[in-house]
Structures are given as C-alpha cells and as structure tokens.
C-alpha cells in the first residue's frame, strides 16, 4: 500500500469509525498520539477528541500546537470542552479558554462552574428567553432579528428579575394573535431542574415522562439553560465508563488491525510521513 493509499485509508477509518479509532489510540503513548493529531486535519482530530475520555483528551490538547488545539476546540460544543478543561490545572485551562471565541468561551466558563456529575455541567446555554410582559408580535420580531443559537423548540419566559415562569412552543407563538400576551399562552406546569442536582437524581425526575428537554435554574430560580434528555444520558454514560474497570475485549472493527499484525497507530503514522514529505 502506498503512502497516499495509507493516508486515505487511515483518514477514512477515523471518519467512519471514530470510536474504534479512539479505543486503540488511548492505549498508545501520549507523545505518539499528539504527533498524529498535530498533522491530520482539525476536523478529523476533533472527531477523535469528541469520543475520548476527558482525562486523555486534556493531556493531548494541552500539548498540541496552539493553532491546532484552537482549531479542534472551535469545532466542539461547550459541554465537551468543559468536561475536558475541568480536569486540567488552572494555567493550562486558562490558555485553552483564551483560544475560544467570545461566545464559546463564555458558555464554557458557565459550565465549568458546576461539578461534572451535575445537571449544570451538561445543560445547553442555547435557548430563547423573553420577558413575561411581552406580546407575541414582539417575540416574533426578536426571533427575526436575533443571531443567537437556539437549541430548543420552546420559548422560555422569565419575569424582569430573570426568574423562570414557564415556557411555550414556538409554534404556539406563531398561532397566537400578535397582541396576545405571551404569559397567557405559556405552560406553567413544566418544572425546572436545579443546576446543582446530581445527574442520577435528575434521571429519576417524573417530568421526563412528558418532555425530552427541561429548563435548568440556579438557587434563586433564575434560568441558566436547558437540559436535553440525550445530554443527561451522555453524562450518565460517561461517568459509568469512568467508574468501570475497562473490559479486556476489543471491538470488532479495531481488532481487524491486530489480525493483520499492525496497530492502528502504526498505520496512521503514515499520515505524519506523508505530511512531512510534502513540507520538504
């Protein structure tokens, strides 16, 4: 197999089987994996980092070339970044935070305020909030002019002190009359989750029987974000994995390389060789 063919095959494997690639890379020396991530395209490196255990990802990101670590971090969401950075010492954490865009840095810092096994660490800060004294026409105008990212089908309604009051679906806002007060169409029965609540406790909340996303509030009942049920499951799965002794068996895909007497890292080393040759 030529260098070009090995390069194509290696990158295709990372793209199609990132979890399998990560399982093998985590068994290798940190320096070797850092060298690999420094030379492959940032999008491929990010797809690997996304599935790594936070401790391993943190070691790698802290040692990557700064341009590469910035490029990798910029493609990850704030929840993934926060779970990695909270394990690093303050100096390195600050350096990596400085590489983020203003919005992503702000959202990541918010999540870093919470322990990794709590609701606050896994919430999404992307939501649309409006005051309870607004009319629907004002909300529609805000939606048209806002450039903020929305991660929910709901509008979350607060009083002027930022206290969560309820929520309503975007569709209901569209259906309502322009002069209708949003407070008149909001659902006040949807409870909020405390940001400090332990994930295992949040998982038992009866509200999940009726919803797949719930608001998250601080101790003063001010709205901080929203928690998707899939994010809750992701957080629970991560901490189960961290507390479980790793199984000795290999997954079928990564085992293919052992059958041929060649580890994945050895195959991917050709990426570095090809890039270095191109630079000369």
Domain annotation covers residue 158: yes
pLDDT at 147: 58
- The CATH number linked to 223 is 3.10.580.10
Name the one residue in this structure whose structure tokens are 């992701």: 234
How many domains does one find in the chain? 2
Domain annotation covers residue 123: no
The two counts, helices (H) then strands (E), for the chain are 15, 6
* pLDDT 10s digits, 2-12: 556 666 777 88
pLDDT at 151: 66
Is the predicted pLDDT of residue 280 greater than 60, yes or no? no
Domain annotation covers residue 121: no
Alpha-carbon span 38 to 45, nearest angstrom: 8
- Cβ atoms of 52 and 61 closer than 8 Å: no
User: Are residues 90 and 9 part of one domain?
Assistant: yes
- Cβ atoms of 267 and 36 closer than 8 Å: no
Task: Tell me which H or E stretch contains 226.
Answer: strand 223-228
Beta bridge partners of 229: none
User: Are residues 96 and 183 part of one domain?
Assistant: no
Beta bridge partners of 118: 198
* Radius of gyration in angstroms for the set of CA atoms belonging to the chain, rounded to a whole number: 22
- The CATH number linked to 8 is 1.25.60.10
User: Are residues 223 and 167 part of one domain?
Assistant: yes
* pLDDT 10s digits, 67-120: 899 899 999 988 889 888 888 888 888 989 998 999 899 989 988 989 889 999
Contacts of 181 (CB under 8 A, 6+ apart): 132, 133, 134, 135, 136
Question: 213-217 and 164-169 as β-strands: parallel, antiparallel, unpaired?
Answer: unpaired
Domain annotation covers residue 171: yes
User: Are residues 79 and 19 part of one domain?
Assistant: yes
Task: Give the best-scoring range by mean pLDDT among 33-37, 79-83, 227-231.
Answer: 227-231
Is the predicted pLDDT of residue 213 greater than 50, yes or no? yes
pLDDT at 168: 94
Is the predicted pLDDT of residue 188 greater than 90, yes or no? yes
Question: 164-169 and 154-158 as β-strands: parallel, antiparallel, unpaired?
Answer: antiparallel
Name the one residue in this structure whose structure tokens are 């929910």: 152
- Cβ atoms of 213 and 123 closer than 8 Å: no
The whole domain housing 39 covers: 3-112+245-279
């Amino acid at each position: 197999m030529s260098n070009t063919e090995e390069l194509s095959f290696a990158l295709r494997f990372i793209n199609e089987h990132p979890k399998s690639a990560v399982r093998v890379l985590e068994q290798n020396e940190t320096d070797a994996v850092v060298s690999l991530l420094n030379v492959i395209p940032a999008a491929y490196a990010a797809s690997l980092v996304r599935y790594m255990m936070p401790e391993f990802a943190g070691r790698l990101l802290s040692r990557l070339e700064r341009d590469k670590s910035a490029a990798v971090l910029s493609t990850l969401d704030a929840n993934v970044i926060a779970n990695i950075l909270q394990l690093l010492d303050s100096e390195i954490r600050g350096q990596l935070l400085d590489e983020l865009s203003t919005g992503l840095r702000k959202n990541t810092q918010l999540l870093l305020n919470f322990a990794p096994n709590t609701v606050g660490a896994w919430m999404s800060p992307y939501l649309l909030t409006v005051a309870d004294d607004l009319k629907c026409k004002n909300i529609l105008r805000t939606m048209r002019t806002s450039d903020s990212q929305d991660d929910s089908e709901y509008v979350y309604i607060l009083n002027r002190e930022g206290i969560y009051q309820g929520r309503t679906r975007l569709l209901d806002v569209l259906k309502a009359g322009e002069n209708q007060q949003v407070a008149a169409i909001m659902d006040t029965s949807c409870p909020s989750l405390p940001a400090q609540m332990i994930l295992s406790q949040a998982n038992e909340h009866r509200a999940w029987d009726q919803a797949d996303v719930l608001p998250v509030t601080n101790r003063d009942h001010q709205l901080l974000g929203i928690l998707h049920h899939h994010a809750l499951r992701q957080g629970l799965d991560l901490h189960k994995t961290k507390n479980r002794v790793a199984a000795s068996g290999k997954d079928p895909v990564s085992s293919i390389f052992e059958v041929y007497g060649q580890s994945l890292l050895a195959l991917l080393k050709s990426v570095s060789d090809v890039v270095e040759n191109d630079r000369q």
